Structure 1
Amino acid sequence: MLDYEKEAGDYDALRGGEARAEAAARAVLGLTPGGAGRLLDVACGTGIVTRRLAAARPRLRVTGVDLTPAMVGMAAARLPGAVVRADSRRLPFPDAAFDAVTSIWLLHLLDDPEDVRTVVAECARVLRPGGVYVTTVDKAAAHDVGSDIDAVLADRPRRPAADAAATVTEHAVRHGLRPAGETVFRGTGQGRSPRSAIADLRRGWFTVLPPGGPRTEEFAARLARLPDQDRPRADPSFRVCAFRRPAAV
Structure 2
Amino acid sequence: MADTLLDYETEAAHYDETRGGVPRAEAAAAAVLRLVPPGARTLLDLACGTGLVTGRIVRPGLKVLGADAAHAMLLAAGRRLPGRVLRADARRLPFPDASLDAVGAVWLLHLVPFTEEIVAEAARVLRPGGVLAVTVDKDAAHDVGSDIDALLRPHRAPGAAHDRAGRVEALAAAHGLAPAGATAFTGHGQGATPEGTARKLRAGYYASWFRGDRAATDSLATAVAALPDQSRPRPAPEYRLAAYAKPVSS
**Structure 2 counterpart of 1:81, from 83, 101, 106:** 83
Question: Is the aligned partner of 1:247 residue 2:248?
Answer: yes
Residue 215 of structure 1, CA deviation? 3.8
8 Å CA contact 2:101, 2:130 repeated in 1: yes
Residue 58 of structure 1, CA deviation? 4.2
8 Å CA contact 2:143, 2:235 repeated in 1: no
Paired position in structure 2 for 1:193: 193
**Structure 1 counterpart of 2:50, from 30, 46, 50:** 46
Paired position in structure 2 for 1:225: 226
Change (3 A) 1:207 1:96: farther
Tell me, in whole angstroms, the C-alpha distance in 2 between the residues paired with 1:116 and 1:91.
14
2:138 counterpart letter in structure 1? K
Residue 78 of structure 1, CA deviation? 1.1
2:40 counterpart letter in structure 1? A
Tell me, in whole angstroms, the C-alpha distance in 1 between the residues paired with 2:47 and 2:205.
18
CA offsets per residue over residues 55-91 of structure 1, 9 Å max, x none? x214211111111111111111111111111111111
Percent pairwise identity: 54
Q: Secondary structure at the match of 1:87?
A: coil
Tell me, in whole angstroms, the C-alpha distance in 1 between the residues paired with 2:22 and 2:148.
25
Unmatched tracts of structure 1, length 5 or more: none
Residue 202 of structure 1, CA deviation? 4.3
CA offsets per residue over residues 161-197 of structure 1, 9 Å max, x none? 1111111111111111111100111111111111121
Tell me, in whole angstroms, the C-alpha distance in 2 between the residues paired with 1:69 and 1:164.
28
8 Å CA contact 2:68, 2:88 repeated in 1: yes
Paired position in structure 2 for 1:234: 235
Q: How does 1:168-183 map to 2 (within 5 A)?
A: 168-183=168-183
Change (3 A) 1:28 1:15: same
Q: Secondary structure at the match of 1:81?
A: coil
Q: How does 1:62-73 map to 2 (within 5 A)?
A: 62-73=64-75
Residue 207 of structure 1, CA deviation? 5.0
Residue 110 of structure 1, CA deviation? 1.0
Residue 2 of structure 1, CA deviation? 1.4
Paired position in structure 2 for 1:28: 32
Tell me, in whole angstroms, the C-alpha distance in 1 between the residues paired with 2:97 and 2:130.
12
Q: Secondary structure at the match of 2:155?
A: coil
Paired position in structure 2 for 1:15: 19
8 Å CA contact 1:209, 1:215 repeated in 2: no
Question: Is the aligned partner of 1:61 residue 2:63?
Answer: yes
Q: Which 4+ residue blocks in structure 1 deviate beyond 6 angstroms?
A: none
8 Å CA contact 1:158, 1:208 repeated in 2: no
Residue 198 of structure 1, CA deviation? 2.2
Change (3 A) 1:169 1:64: same
Paired position in structure 1 for 2:123: 124
10-19 or 181-190: bigger deviation: 10-19
8 Å CA contact 2:143, 2:191 repeated in 1: no
8 Å CA contact 1:36, 1:100 repeated in 2: yes
Change (3 A) 1:31 1:207: farther
TM-score normalized by structure 1?
Answer: 0.91
Residue 158 of structure 1, CA deviation? 3.9
Q: Secondary structure at the match of 1:48?
A: coil
Tell me, in whole angstroms, the C-alpha distance in 2 between the residues paired with 1:204 and 1:10.
20
Tell me, in whole angstroms, the C-alpha distance in 2 between the residues paired with 1:194 and 1:49.
28
Q: Secondary structure at the match of 2:130?
A: strand
Residue 155 of structure 1, CA deviation? 3.4
8 Å CA contact 1:186, 1:235 repeated in 2: yes
